Chain A
Amino acid sequence: MSKAGALALFRSGGGRGLPLILLAAALLALFHIEATPLANLRAVHFDRYQQQMPRNREDEPVIVVGIDSQSLAMHGQWPWSRDLIAGLVRHVLAGKPLAVGVDIVFAEKDRHSPEILAERLPAIPRSALLALPDPDRTLASALDSGPTALAIVGLDNVLPGSKQPSRPLPIFGVADDLERALPSFPSALASRDMLETAASGEGLINASPDRYRSNAEGGVLRRVPSIGLVEHQPFLSLPLEMVRLALGGDAVVVAEPSSQGMQAIRIGDYRLPTQPNGELLLHFGRASSNYYLSAADVLAGVHPPEMFASRFVIIGFNSTGLQDRIITPLGESLPGIDIHAQVIESLLSGIALQRPFWMATLELVVLALVGLLLIAGTPVVRPSLAIAGFMAFATLIVGAGYWAFHLGRWLFDGLSIALLLVPVFASLIVNRLVAADAERRRTREQLRVSREDTARVEGELNAARRIQMGLLPDPAALFASEKRFEVAALLESARAVGGDFYDCQMLDERRLCLAVGDVSGKGVPASLFMAIAKTLTGTATRRESDLAQAMREIETELARENPEGLFVTAFVAVIDVDSGVMTYACAGHDAPVLVRAGSCLRIDTASIGGPPLCALGDYPYAVASLQLEPGDLLCLFTDGLTEASDGRSQLGERGLGAVLGKAAANNLQALAEQLRDQVRHFEAGIPPADDLTLLLFRWRGTINAS
């Protein structure tokens, strides 16, 4: 899949498409968990519950009489002659136990029966041999003397020697549909008829280790059948049959049906929950050797018979080589007969693990709900919160499993739910992080674009500034060889471009035009108007010898195209630099300062001053004139100078006068810069609010006229 395709899948449905697909897959996996590796994990997880909380085995109602190595060493190889077994049974029954179970099938005639001996020993007279006691008969007689149960093994196929056991449950009604759910065998391996008849009952000893066992050693025994059918005849398992016999043999056995099959087995007043197929999920307790006795010791009468009183006794194998060993969920390797003991204990205490059919549905619902909650919540909360929330959910679900087990031995598989949620959540959080990363990239890109824009605008503004400054004449270059007067100029915009302007040009050999203007407002709009105003001032004064007429022309031209209603204050003077006669007009501008013999005067504009250019549009400007004296210094400026502020007050005209009076430099350009510096000093670091323009003129007098 291409990167874009993968991203598209991630982002589909607002980033929820893939998680929904994964959740659906998780639900499917949980529904068919037996077909996934999760089944093993679940089994191990359930085993862990038992390991954490094993069944308490304080009471020991069962004694196991084991035919162990010691017994074999003392009484010879297996199989023992049945009169020896009979002796064992008699020893046990002497103690009046509740019931005795024999975990051995006596299917064929005893090897030491007179008939077999007669065939094997033809030299001995047959009648003598036939007079010997029959070991089978001896065992039958022993079994007959107490509540005893024999083992049967349900077979899937009819084998030679197999038969229908003859002691099914006497009172047990099985519904047809329930019968289908229970394990059913066509035939069985059972003891000889004579023994079956002598015993009080028969019980199945089939174990059902979990499916995925690779070999007998590796399989963990988690469940055992409680009841099974042989040719439609019901048989309890051997330990349960022993309890039934202990209750007097007429105890009612009931298989409680549920919609799925069976839900519990009840014997008399004892009840255990089962799986639908009647299997018990055993809650194992830790094994101990306390209740194991050696058959040899029992035969030798080592233990007093009272030991067996009011106990269940199981006789079976407990010897390496003979026994079938199983592994319990607790990780213990035990002889198979130990399971019978645990089943009896479980029934007496009523404790078995519970996993009813609806538990799987509950797990599916929990997975679906939590999954949907994650899908809904993760995209809208902070990733750190989402991760914390997921961890909390996972812990809660797994913890709920332990809690349910503790509460009622319920088997709730929180671990599989938590594990199946991982891919769902991972895709959500990855999508979240991918989105966050994309957002970061976008922001970075926007910042870059914005920086470039800023740089471009700055670049354009700088270009505009260069052009604007280029519009202003350089008096130093213009009047370099001039002897009659000096001119210096300085313009500093508050922004990149401004609305101030000045002009100084020779109209002819004698007449010098000086002009200072200030467009209302600041920045780019003012600067565009400034360019027009400056140009118009230059052309009008050159073309029109009458200054008043020139002013009117400027206003007319400016006002012609002025939709924004901008206006310009201006002071324009035309000086005859030979005679020193200055003619001037003022359009709403500050009156210039004249420094004559060390004192500052204001040029009188009161009588002839008009409003700013374009304010009215058709004002008849008038002019006035005055005679300059040699050495006179004329200072034209804009309000950037007088209105310079230190944050509290403005510099004002008085301040300007003081500054001008203090200015000592003889060189006009240096003086202009000194003035500027003093204004900036006054402002004390506060950014200038307005453009600042200075135009200085000094008339030297009629030197070359003489």
Chain B
Amino acid sequence: MAYLKFELSAFSLMNLPTREQSGVLIVSVSGRVDHLASEEFSLAIEPILQNCRQGALPVLLDFSGVEYISSAGLRVLMLASRRAKAERGVFAVAALQPLVQEVFAISRFNLIMPCYVSIEAACKVLGS
């Protein structure tokens, strides 16, 4: 497993371990993506987004470790998804915990970005 460590701002403690599986770049996100953490999340995901474009590996966020996501966290996802779309890249999320799944359901985020039940399911669709 390769860890990409990013030079983030001093307060940032969020690391996003990445791995490649079946031609998909899988980014593991964990913890509470609340109002405060969303800023770190936004900074941490920035370098990944820079490589999310047409022809590059599809990016899949592994949300199995995410316990909670606030509207600020959703906004980071929305902006990221919007950027990926502009570059014709693929940006998706998978393996939502029930509480997060409920938030996604209420806010209809499945309409904003592709959501998959599991990593395997996602890889089947996205992988090469």
Contacts and interface: CB of A to CB of B under 8 A. Distances in A.
Interface of A: 518-522, 565-567, 569, 588-591, 609-612, 615-616, 619, 639, 643, 650, 689-690
Interface in B95-128: 99, 106-109, 111-112
Interface string B21-37: 00000000000001100
A252 B108 CA distance: 123
A636 to B, nearest CB: 14
A491 B99 CA distance: 25
Contact of B108 (A518, A565, A611, A689): A611
A87 to B, nearest CB: 108
26 contacts: A519-B71, A520-B71, A520-B72, A520-B75, A521-B75, A522-B72, A565-B78, A565-B79, A566-B75, A567-B74, A567-B75, A569-B71, A569-B107, A588-B106, A589-B106, A590-B106, A611-B109, A612-B107, A615-B111, A616-B111, A639-B71, A650-B99, A689-B35, A689-B70, A690-B35, A690-B70
A650 B34 CA distance: 13
A565 B75 contact: yes
Contact of A689 (B34, B78, B82, B109): B34
Contacts of A589: 106-107
A588 B34 contact: no
A619 B72 CA distance: 21
Contacts of A569: 71, 106-107
A565 B82 contact: yes
Contacts of B109: 588, 611, 615
Report the interface size class on chain B.
10 to 19
Interface of B: 34-35, 68, 70-72, 74-75, 78-79, 82, 99, 106-109, 111-112
Contact of A615 (B35, B70, B78, B99): B78
A569 B109 CA distance: 11
A521 B35 contact: yes
A611 B79 contact: no
A272 to B, nearest CB: 77
A591 B108 contact: no
A587 to B, nearest CB: 8
Contacts of A610: 108, 111
Given A520-B71, A520-B72, A567 B78 contact: yes
A589 B72 CA distance: 14
A616 B112 contact: yes
B111 to A, nearest CB: 5
Given A611-B108, A611-B111, A522 B78 contact: no
Contacts of A565: 75, 78-79, 82
Contacts of A689: 34-35, 70
B72 A588 contact: no
A566 B71 CA distance: 10
A650 B99 CA distance: 10
B40 to A, nearest CB: 15
Contacts of B74: 520, 567, 612
Nearest to A591: B106
Contacts of B75: 520-521, 565-567
Contacts of A690: 35, 70
A522 B107 contact: no
A610 B108 CA distance: 6
A624 to B, nearest CB: 14
B112 A615 contact: yes
Nearest to A566: B75
A610 B111 CA distance: 8
Contacts of A521: 35, 71-72, 75
A639 B69 CA distance: 12
A609 B108 CA distance: 7
Contact of B111 (A520, A522, A619): A619
A555 B8 CA distance: 34
Closest A-B pairs by Cβ, 9 of them: A588-B107, A520-B71, A611-B108, A520-B75, A611-B111, A565-B79, A521-B72, A588-B108, A615-B112
Contacts of B82: 565
